[in-house]
């Protein structure tokens, strides 16, 4: 596995380069490109001249651009970014939101991967039969349901009318694990449904392709039980592309994709904070959240590359040759 | 029953009136249409014919690998008291890999790319024998060494992409032989390999046949391969066996015009090259709607009235008990008709 260490180092260097490029873009988009006074935009609608002068001073908007970039990123990464509209510390708010967002996203991800693999597997093994047709319909419904609609429906019927689950809000895991899960079941399902539908369809078609491979025929000719042929040879090879999708989607969900779910269920996560900040055009939190989201998307892509290389040894060879 | 059963040793495997049909969007493909033959212990049986004649389907059906929702299989494949056509999946599992093994055409795609070569051999061993990982791995090493993989002790941990095509085919053979099966079905094992590697693989199969008495069914479209290693030969055309005999009988006294055509299209180093490579006129028939009567009739320059009726595969010579064919022509006339420019061949229709 000595190729693996080198591979990981290469990927980490790549990740830092991508993050640097993103930070430059974020800086340009927020502070430079809009054709108006950046201090005024950052200060918000009710900023007076005194505040604007202070912001100009703080952010160094009279300095040359590279200097401005350094100042902005320093603010983002050292934690002295403050919202001028409500005087709250941005990094504190994000840190407060992280456990909520992670609870939501990790739980949803586990549900969506498990169910997608089970549904996709059953669909592929029974392709063309009643099970497959039923699962196809279920998957298409899942893909078609908008998160805000599904969230509201579950809230109204399951939580409110039937009273099976609490209506919104969040309980910390450390405070009461049972209540934590109880409050999160509906949000988990809401966030997972789209992905279950989508992933099970992708897995089904991957598996049907892999079943035609010569090495699957070899596995059968070896006298392996059909279940072993399916799990070890077909499913394993079919999961590789799913892992890529998962990395992209999981990063995206953590980095902002959970906005709707958090808003519908009033979960005080990073997504809800982002939603509120967009609504009040509060730029300092948005700069930080954009970088936060970008970091997780890039980070999970890197993780995916490493896992991918572990799952498919040919990829490691590619990097050694390069 | 195949005509060769009479008097010979007890066959190891016996295929009788095998039919395999596939329902497709265009209609029913009659891929194998009444194939019967015996495999004797310790022999190398060559199965030859052009692409699409049903060779591979015949072989895969013997392993139960053509079972599918769109296939219909009838007839029988007798092996050790079982009929492999009707055997349950569990019965087949105990036979596949342990009693009857198979090596496929394309070694580049026949190994799973994500598992180590050694682990795939270990999987083969552990599918049938309760041996622990260390013992199975030791056996995998021995097997790789026995098929001529250099430095097998280390290569056992390689992934398939680290092996060349010839090495992969050796690994496939090592895997197929892991449990010392009685029969090896080799489906075009050398087609994807270059000629020097091809010769090595054939020599390996021959060695295993001689050393262990392994019975081999060697499927190929290459008469050169057959000439090198086979004891007996079956010639297949359009889903049927059209001629069966010993290697010498097929090469020196072929009875079926299709076999003449195959012989005639061989280029030979011991004769001056022809102006134009001889070929069999026309194209193989569609197996969706094969011709009535003799399947080869539309392409046969010697066809006559009687050929509208399908001839059985039977012995038509007085002096060769195991040499059977499906041709209505008089054996005495055949000697004259197959002579084309001083060698065996099939006249090109004008």
Name the residue ranges covered by the structural domains of chain A: 2-78, 93-279
Is A218–B94 a contact, with Cβ atoms under 8 angstroms apart?
no
Residue B161: predicted pLDDT: 92
Is A221–B114 a contact, with Cβ atoms under 8 angstroms apart?
no
Indicate the range of A152-161, B93-102, B109-118 predicted with least confidence.
A152-161
Whether the per-residue pLDDT at A286 is higher than 80: the answer is: yes
Tens-place pLDDT, residues B300-313? 999 999 999 999 99
Whether the per-residue pLDDT at B268 is higher than 80: the answer is: no
Distance (Å) from the alpha carbon of A251 to chain B's nearest alpha carbon: 26
Mean local confidence (pLDDT), A260-265 = 90
Mean local confidence (pLDDT), B144-167 = 93
* B189: three-class secondary structure by DSSP: coil
Whether the per-residue pLDDT at B267 is higher than 80: the answer is: no
Residue B350: predicted pLDDT: 52
Indicate the range of A18-32, A201-215, A249-263, B78-92 predicted with least confidence.
A249-263
Distance (Å) from the alpha carbon of A130 to chain B's nearest alpha carbon: 15
The Cα–Cα gap between B144 and B151 comes to: 9
Whether the per-residue pLDDT at A107 is higher than 80: the answer is: yes
Domain ranges across chain B: 110-180, 255-344
Specify the pairing of strand B44-48 against strand B232-237.
Answer: parallel
Q: Which of B82, B93, B177 has the most A C-beta neighbours within 10 Å, making it the best mutation to test the interface with A?
A: B93
Mean local confidence (pLDDT), A261-279 = 91
Q: How confident is the model at residue B260 (pLDDT cuts 50, 70, 90)?
A: very high
Is A314–B113 a contact, with Cβ atoms under 8 angstroms apart?
yes
Interface of A with B in 7-66 (CB under 8 A): none
Whether the per-residue pLDDT at B291 is higher than 60: the answer is: yes
Whether the per-residue pLDDT at B1 is higher than 50: the answer is: no
Residue A320: predicted pLDDT: 44
Q: Which of A217, A223, A317 has the most B C-beta neighbours within 10 Å, making it the best mutation to test the interface with B?
A: A223
Is B94–A313 a contact, with Cβ atoms under 8 angstroms apart?
no
A223 and B CB contact within 8 Å: yes
* A238: three-class secondary structure by DSSP: helix
Tens-place pLDDT, residues A213-252? 999 999 999 999 999 999 999 999 999 889 888 988 998 8
Mean local confidence (pLDDT), A6-23 = 92
The chain-wide mean pLDDT, for chain B, equals 91
Residue B196: predicted pLDDT: 85
Q: CA-based diameter of chain A, in Å?
A: 81
Whether the per-residue pLDDT at A110 is higher than 90: the answer is: yes
Mean local confidence (pLDDT), B323-329 = 95
Is B109–A128 a contact, with Cβ atoms under 8 angstroms apart?
no
Is B159–A314 a contact, with Cβ atoms under 8 angstroms apart?
yes
Whether the per-residue pLDDT at B4 is higher than 50: the answer is: no
Residue A162: predicted pLDDT: 86
Distance (Å) from the alpha carbon of B233 to chain A's nearest alpha carbon: 24
The Cα–Cα gap between B241 and A121 comes to: 41
Residue A1: predicted pLDDT: 53
A213 and B CB contact within 8 Å: yes
Q: How confident is the model at residue A258 (pLDDT cuts 50, 70, 90)?
A: confident
Tens-place pLDDT, residues B331-340? 999 999 998 8
More confident residue, B276 or B135: B135
Q: How confident is the model at residue B36 (pLDDT cuts 50, 70, 90)?
A: very high
Whether the per-residue pLDDT at B53 is higher than 80: the answer is: yes
Mean local confidence (pLDDT), B285-299 = 92
Residue B84: predicted pLDDT: 95
Whether the per-residue pLDDT at B142 is higher than 80: the answer is: yes
The Cα–Cα gap between B287 and B27 comes to: 10
Residue listed under structure tokens 């974020």:
A26
Q: What is the DSSP letter of B96?
A: B
Is A225–B101 a contact, with Cβ atoms under 8 angstroms apart?
no
C-alpha distances (whole Å) from A284 to each of A21, A70, A250 are 19, 15, 25
Residue A24: predicted pLDDT: 95
Interface of A with B in 111-140 (CB under 8 A): 128
The chain-wide mean pLDDT, for chain A, equals 89
Whether the per-residue pLDDT at A123 is higher than 90: the answer is: yes
The Cα–Cα gap between B83 and B60 comes to: 14
Is A128–B69 a contact, with Cβ atoms under 8 angstroms apart?
yes
Contacts of A214 in chain B (CB under 8 A): 104, 106, 109-110
Residue B274: predicted pLDDT: 72
Mean local confidence (pLDDT), B129-149 = 94
Whether the per-residue pLDDT at A256 is higher than 80: the answer is: no
Tens-place pLDDT, residues B241-256? 999 999 999 999 999 9
More confident residue, A163 or B62: B62
Q: What angle (nearest 5°) sits at the alpha carbon of residue B327, between those of residues B324 and B329?
A: 120
Facing A218 at nearest CB: one of B69, B95, B111: B111
Facing B112 at nearest CB: one of A221, A223, A233: A233
Single out the residue of A200, A196, A188, A195 nearest to residue A108, CA to CA. A188
A93-279 CATH choice from 3.60.110.10, 1.10.3720.10, 1.10.260.40, 3.20.20.140: 1.10.3720.10
Is B93–A214 a contact, with Cβ atoms under 8 angstroms apart?
no
Residue A72: exposed, middle, or buried by beta-carbon count in 10 A (0-12, 13-18, 19+)? Answer: buried
Tens-place pLDDT, residues B160-186? 999 999 899 999 999 999 999 999 999
Mean local confidence (pLDDT), A277-296 = 91
């Amino acid at each position: 596995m000595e190729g693996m260490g080198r591979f990981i180092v290469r990927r980490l260097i790549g990740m830092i380069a991508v993050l640097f490029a993103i930070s430059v873009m974020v800086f340009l988009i927020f502070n430079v490109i809009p054709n108006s006074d950046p201090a005024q935009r950052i200060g918000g609608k009710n900023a007076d001249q005194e505040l604007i002068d202070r912001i100009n001073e703080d952010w160094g908007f009279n300095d040359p651009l590279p200097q401005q970039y350094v100042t902005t990123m320093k603010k983002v990464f050292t934690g002295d970014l403050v919202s001028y509209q409500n005087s709250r510390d941005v990094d504190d708010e994000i840190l407060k939101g992280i456990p909520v967002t992670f609870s939501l996203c990790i739980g949803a991800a586990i549900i969506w991967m498990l169910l997608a693999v089970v549904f996709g597997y059953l669909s592929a093994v029974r392709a063309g039969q009643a099970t497959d047709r039923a699962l196809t319909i279920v998957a298409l419904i899942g893909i078609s349901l908008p998160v805000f609609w599904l969230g509201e429906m579950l809230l109204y019927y399951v939580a409110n009318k039937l009273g099976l689950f609490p209506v919104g809000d969040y309980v910390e895991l450390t405070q009461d694990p049972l209540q934590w899960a109880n409050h999160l079941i509906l949000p988990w399902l809401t966030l997972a449904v789209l992905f279950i539908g989508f992933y099970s369809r992708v897995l089904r078609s991957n598996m049907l392709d892999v079943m035609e491979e010569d090495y699957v025929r070899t596995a059968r000719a070896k006298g392996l039980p059909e279940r072993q042929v399916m799990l070890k040879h077909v499913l394993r090879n079919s999961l590789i592309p799913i892992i890529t999708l998962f990395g992209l989607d999981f990063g995206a969900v953590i980095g902002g994709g959970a906005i709707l779910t958090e808003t519908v269920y009033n979960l005080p996560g990073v997504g809800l904070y982002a939603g509120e900040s967009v609504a009040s055009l509060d730029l300092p939190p948005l700069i930080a959240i954009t970088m936060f989201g970008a970091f997780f998307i890039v980070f999970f892509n890197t993780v995916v590359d490493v896992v991918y290389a572990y799952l498919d040894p040919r990829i490691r060879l590619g990097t050694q040759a390069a | 029953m195949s005509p060769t059963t009479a008097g010979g040793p007890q066959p190891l495997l016996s295929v009788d009136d095998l039919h395999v049909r596939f329902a497709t969007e265009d209609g029913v493909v009659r891929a194998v249409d009444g194939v019967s033959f015996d495999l004797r212990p310790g022999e190398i049986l060559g199965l030859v014919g052009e692409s699409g004649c049903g060779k591979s389907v015949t072989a895969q059906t013997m392993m139960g690998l053509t079972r599918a929702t769109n296939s219909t299989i009838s007839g029988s494949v007798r092996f050790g008291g079982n009929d492999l056509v009707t055997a349950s999946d569990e019965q087949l599992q105990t036979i596949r890999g342990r009693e009857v093994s198979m090596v496929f055409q394309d070694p580049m795609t026949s190994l799973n790319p994500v598992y180590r070569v050694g682990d795939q051999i270990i999987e083969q061993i552990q599918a049938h024998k309760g041996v622990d990982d260390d013992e199975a791995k030791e056996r995998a090493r021995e097997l790789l060494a026995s098929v001529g993989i250099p430095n097998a002790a280390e290569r056992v941990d390689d992934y398939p992409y680290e092996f060349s095509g010839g090495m992969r085919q050796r690994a496939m053979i090592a895997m197929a032989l892991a449990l010392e099966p009685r029969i090896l079905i080799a489906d075009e094992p050398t087609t994807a390999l270059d000629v020097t590697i091809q010769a090595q693989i054939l020599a390996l199969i021959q060695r295993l046949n001689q050393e262990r008495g392994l019975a081999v069914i060697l499927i190929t479209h290459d008469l050169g391969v057959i000439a090198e290693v086979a004891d007996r030969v079956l010639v297949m055309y359009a889903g049927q066996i059209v001629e069966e005999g010993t290697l010498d009988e097929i090469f020196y006294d072929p009875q079926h015009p299709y076999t003449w055509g195959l012989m005639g299209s061989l280029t030979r180093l011991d004769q001056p090259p022809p102006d134009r490579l001889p070929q069999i006129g026309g194209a193989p028939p569609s197996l969706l709607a094969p011709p009535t009567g003799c399947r080869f009739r539309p392409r046969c320059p010697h066809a006559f009235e009687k050929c509208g009726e399908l001839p059985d595969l039977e012995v038509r010579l007085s002096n060769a008990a195991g040499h059977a064919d499906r041709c209505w022509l008089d054996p005495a006339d055949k000697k004259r008709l197959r002579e084309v420019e001083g060698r065996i061949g099939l006249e090109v229709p004008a």
